[in-house]
Structure 1
Amino acid sequence: MFSHITVGVSDLDRAERFYDALLIPLGLVQRQVTPDGGPPSRCWHHPAPNLPRFYAYLPFDGQPSSHGNGSMTAFLAPTPEAVVRAHAEALAQGGADEGAPGPRHRYGPDYFGAYLHDPDGNKIHIVHRPDAPDGRPV
């Protein structure tokens, strides 16, 4: 079980627009981040339960953000239509396509997904899969 996932970003306002466009169609909401002395950040989660969470942070060390080679964050979508909508809205907010929405039969007969990069190069996967309970994040 994950507590949270964090990606580094170079422009927090741009990241907020991008991740709102990507995550709201998937049923996630943005939550207030309580200042903890760390760098500014934004956070999204499923309304209930409060975990897991996804964070976009300016790097703590003040250095430029960079994406990890081989790293990817995958978000569950409640329907294939939500995959299509989230992909399109994220591209409209500066994302870069890495694989259009569609069936991914090599992963399972009803697996439906899309791939893209956020404006900082972080790789994102959006997936609807029948083995997820209620199609929601767990």
Structure 2
Amino acid sequence: MPGSMFSHVMVGARDLEAAARFYDAVLLPLGLERGPDAEAGPKGICYRQPGSRHPTFDVQEPFDGSPPSPGNGCMVAFMAPSRAAVNTAHAAALAHGGTDEGAPGLRERYAPDYYGAYVRDPEGNKLHFVHREG
């Protein structure tokens, strides 16, 4: 995607099958599609906007072979096409082994139209789903 700020964002996972079930349920409602599995490096899966090669959100076994661990203060935020999509992604996360870090709702301290929700995936990575009207 020309002009995009990011090439990819990556989080680690021990169990890629479980990660795929979780992220398929959570990211497909946000309008992302699952791309081909990683061809180079450790096993992994990726998600992206339909018709785009980049940016991608990748879930892979860590390159160094050590167990994955979430970084304190690190978070991946996904744009949602609607408030309903935020709600759906949050509910899907909880139904697929995620934990709640902040229920869906307006976050007016960020902006008057900022609607979001926070979860942690089964590996402990913090995710945020956000929709803005403008």
1:83-114 deviations in whole A, cap 9, x for unaligned? 00011011111000000000000111111000
Where does the alignment leave 5 or more consecutive residues of structure 2 unmatched?
none
Cα pair 2:38 2:44 within 8 Å, conserved? no
Shift of 1:16: 0.5
Where does the alignment leave 5 or more consecutive residues of structure 1 unmatched?
132-138
Among all aligned residue pairs of Structure 1 and Structure 2, give the percentage whose two residues are the same amino acid: 56
Q: Does 1:120 align with 2:123?
A: yes
> How many angstroms apart in 2 are the aligned matches of 1:129 and 1:89?
20
For 1:47-126, what aligned pairs fall within 5 Å after superposition?
Answer: 47-126=50-129
User: Any runs of at least 4 consecutive aligned residues in structure 1 with deviations exceeding 2 A, and if so which?
Assistant: none
Cα pair 2:38 2:46 within 8 Å, conserved? no
TM-score normalised over the length of structure 1: 0.91
Q: Does 1:17 align with 2:21?
A: yes
1:40-70 deviations in whole A, cap 9, x for unaligned? 0000000033221000001111111100000
Shift of 1:116: 0.4
Shift of 1:130: 2.7
SS at match of 1:7: strand
> How many angstroms apart in 2 are the aligned matches of 1:9 and 1:101?
25
CA root-mean-square deviation: 0.9
2:48 to 30, 36, 45: 45
Shift of 1:34: 4.5
TM-score normalised over the length of structure 2: 0.94
Q: Does 1:8 align with 2:12?
A: yes
